[in-house]
Every structure is written in structure tokens, then in C-alpha cells.
């Protein structure tokens, strides 16, 4: 009887283990190669072979483009963001770029403050000593430098981080075309 196929998380484990074994063990690598050859000839599941050859990519979800398009539209409307980035700044003296940057900065700031509430992740002053307990949230805090041993970790806060605590993006009518982040303007 054919053994049951390993489920997703087991497969990640197998793939990672295989990856390092292929790198480190030429005999094992040869075996895998033979298996792959046989698979290709036998038109068997390619995916399993690929999984054996490199780490399995976790199932990445595709971010819905609507929110990104909407934000892009807001940044263009309030801050002329796309105009600014699409222009070749090399051709202009710093004073001109600076003047435009003020406009862009002011507008971006308005978009941020109107649509998001953003708080620092850590309330401590930057530069102050920080102790990270066991089981700290690795998404909210990124450790760098001499990363060895076991938590609690002692270190210094180099960046306070930002956390969006509230999003208030405008609601959209279903029929509005978000691809148009700035309509062409025609003066009559």
C-alpha cells in the first residue's frame, strides 16, 4: 500500500532537511538526481521533485491591489507623489527639488494623518536599554547584531518602529476605476 502523502508542514520540513542534505551529501544528491530523472521520464508529479530540490515556498497570499491603488491615488491627489517620483530629479538644482519636496512632504503627511493612526511600536526613547523577554513578538521587534543565546535579550533600541493602529481609508463605490490614480485634466 502506498504511504499517505505527507501534509504541507511536514513537506516543508522534508524539503528543508533534503536541501541541506543534498548540499552536504553527494551520495544523497545523486539519489535525488536519479529520482528526478525517473520522475521526468515517468511524467510523475513534478512538484514533489522541485520540492526536494529547493525549499518549498510558503503559500504567499496575493495582496489585493485595491488598497494599494487607492493609497497611490490619494498620494497623487494630495501630494503629487507619482508626478514627483516619475520626474528626473538629476536635471534640476537642489533648490528646485527641495521646493517640490515640501509640497510632496506636506501632502504625504496629510494622507498619513487623515487615513491612518500610527503609533510607535516601543514607547521607550531611542538609545535606551531594552530587555526582550522570552516569546517576544518577532514581527513587532527585529533583533540585529550579536544575535546568540536564549531570551531574555538585552540591547538598545535603535528604532522605535511604527504600528498602524487604525486605518480609515475612504469607502469606495463599486463602479469606480481604481486603476486611474490621477485622471487626465482638460480645461475647457
- Please identify, among the stretches 25-33, 39-47, 91-99, 116-124, the one whose residues bind another protein according to the rule CB under 8 A: 91-99
Binding mask 35-74 toward another protein (x if CB under 8 A, else -) reads -----------------------------------x--x-
Among 16, 17, 23, 172, binds another protein (CB under 8 A): 172
Closest CA to 113 of 181, 171, 167: 167
Closest distance of CB 105 from another protein, Å: 10
Q: Assess contact for 114 and 70: CB atoms under 8 A.
A: no
Residue number with CB closer to another protein (53 or 178): 178
C-beta of 164: minimal distance to another protein in Å? 17
Q: Residue 185, interface with another protein (CB under 8 A)? A: yes
Cα 166 from Cα 25, distance rounded (Å): 51
Residues contacting another protein: total by CB under 8 A: 31
Pick the binder of another protein from 41, 154, 173, 179 (CB under 8 A): 173
CA-to-CA distance for 170 and 7, rounded, in angstroms? Answer: 41
Q: Pairing between strand 116-120 and 162-167? A: antiparallel
Question: Which are the contacts of 147, defined by CB distance < 8 A and separation ≥ 6?
Answer: none
| Residue entry with cell 531594552 | 130
Cβ neighbours, 10 Å, residue 73: 22
Cβ-in-10-Å burial (0-12, 13-18, 19+) of 106 comes to: exposed
The footprint of another protein on residues 110-169 (CB under 8 A) is 114, 168-169
Looking at the Cβ atoms of 152 and 170, the one nearer to another protein is 170
Where on the chain is the footprint of another protein (CB under 8 A)?
Answer: 70, 73, 77, 80, 83-84, 86-87, 89, 91-92, 96-97, 99-100, 102-104, 106, 114, 168-177, 185
Amino acid at each position: 500500500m502506498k504511504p499517505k502523502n505527507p501534509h504541507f508542514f511536514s513537506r516543508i520540513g522534508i524539503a528543508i532537511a533534503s536541501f541541506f542534505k543534498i548540499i552536504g551529501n553527494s551520495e544523497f544528491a545523486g539519489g535525488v538526481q536519479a529520482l528526478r530523472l525517473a520522475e521526468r521520464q515517468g511524467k510523475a508529479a513534478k512538484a514533489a521533485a522541485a520540492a526536494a530540490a529547493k525549499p518549498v515556498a510558503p503559500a504567499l497570499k496575493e495582496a489585493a491591489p485595491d488598497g494599494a491603488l487607492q493609497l497611490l491615488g490619494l498620494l497623487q491627489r494630495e501630494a503629487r507623489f507619482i508626478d514627483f517620483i516619475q520626474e528626473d530629479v538629476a536635471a534640476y538644482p537642489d533648490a528646485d527639488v527641495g521646493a517640490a519636496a515640501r509640497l510632496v512632504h506636506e501632502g504625504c503627511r496629510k494622507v498619513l494623518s487623515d487615513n491612518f493612526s500610527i503609533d510607535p511600536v516601543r514607547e521607550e526613547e531611542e538609545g535606551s536599554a531594552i530587555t526582550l523577554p522570552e516569546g517576544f513578538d518577532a514581527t513587532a521587534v527585529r533583533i540585529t547584531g550579536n544575535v546568540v543565546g536564549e531570551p531574555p535579550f538585552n540591547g538598545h533600541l535603535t528604532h522605535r518602529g511604527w504600528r498602524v493602529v487604525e486605518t480609515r481609508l475612504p469607502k469606495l463605490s463599486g463602479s469606480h476605476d481604481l486603476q486611474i490614480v490621477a485622471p487626465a485634466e482638460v480645461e475647457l
